[in-house]
Structure 1
Amino acid sequence: MIVCDTGPLVAAALSKDPDHHRCVELFTGLHLAQREMIIPSPVIAEVGYLLATKASPHVEAGFLESLANEDFHVEELKVSDYSRMAELVEQYADLPLGTTDAAVLTVTERLNIQELATLDLRHFNVVRPKHVKALTLLP
């Protein structure tokens, strides 16, 4: 299993994005290996907004169809996740970390997942999860 942050999902959908090819390769490889790709629910709104504004509503709809087709597993937040997210937002206020990134980290911890698909090295190279020394960041 791997948790997916916003950046790679957007880059994979936008052919002119500088990270497009490596993100497409990542998701293709994960799909072929039948690895479960988990998207924390707050990531969906960010991806949808960015696809609609940087590409088109048609591209946004394609992403939503991929969720309907279960190409990804959407992980809803639990009530207990919000306390951990608040703790992370406070702890990393100088970054600032923000709600979505806090949700991504919280889901990796709760599901005990070490791999994270992200382009956000600024945040995820700094934050320290509770369950492992550091996350393995891909691509």
Structure 2
Amino acid sequence: MFDGEPDLGRRANGVAAFDTRPLVLPEPLLVEIGYMLGSRASASAEADFLRDVADGLYTVESIFRWCVGALAERLGITRVATLDTRHFPVVKPRHISAFTLLP
């Protein structure tokens, strides 16, 4: 039961059964899920979740580059300082064809 909504768990399982691709989890959410499982379920549930993450059951996505990209887009910035030259180019701004990555 979730906050007085006994139907919520069933509906959530239905969503998971509908699409068998790995769920995408933002990195910061891993900490929250781990904490909730450890404090509200058990250490074993938390360990099972972390094992599932390690086994690739979930796709873990860094949100940092997306936040930086969204802010740069909002402010009209065209050049971004980053050391993430391998992953940052996938961020596609709407106001220019691509960010100029520095250094």
When normalised by structure 2's length, the TM-score is: 0.55
Distance in 2 separating the partners of 1:39 and 1:71:
10
Matched, 1:81 2:67: yes
Pair member with larger Rg: 2
Please name the residue that 1:27 is paired with.
16
Aligned residue for 1:63, secondary structure, equals: helix
Distance in 2 separating the partners of 1:21 and 1:60:
21
Q: How far off its partner does 1:53 sit? A: 1.1
Distance in 1 separating the partners of 2:46 and 2:57:
15
In structure 2, list runs of 5 or more residues that go unmatched: 72-90, 95-103
In structure 1, list runs of 5 or more residues that go unmatched: 1-15, 86-109, 112-129, 131-139
Q: How far off its partner does 1:81 sit? A: 2.1
Distance in 2 separating the partners of 1:58 and 1:74:
21
Percent of aligned pairs with the same residue? 26
Matched, 1:61 2:47: yes
Aligned residue for 1:48, secondary structure, equals: helix
- 1:1-139 → structure 2 map (5 Å cutoff): 16-17=1-2, 18=6, 19-31=8-20, 35-79=21-65, 81-82=67-68, 84=70
Distance in 2 separating the partners of 1:24 and 1:69:
20
Distance in 1 separating the partners of 2:12 and 2:27:
20
When normalised by structure 1's length, the TM-score is: 0.42
Aligned residues: 70
RMSD: 2.6
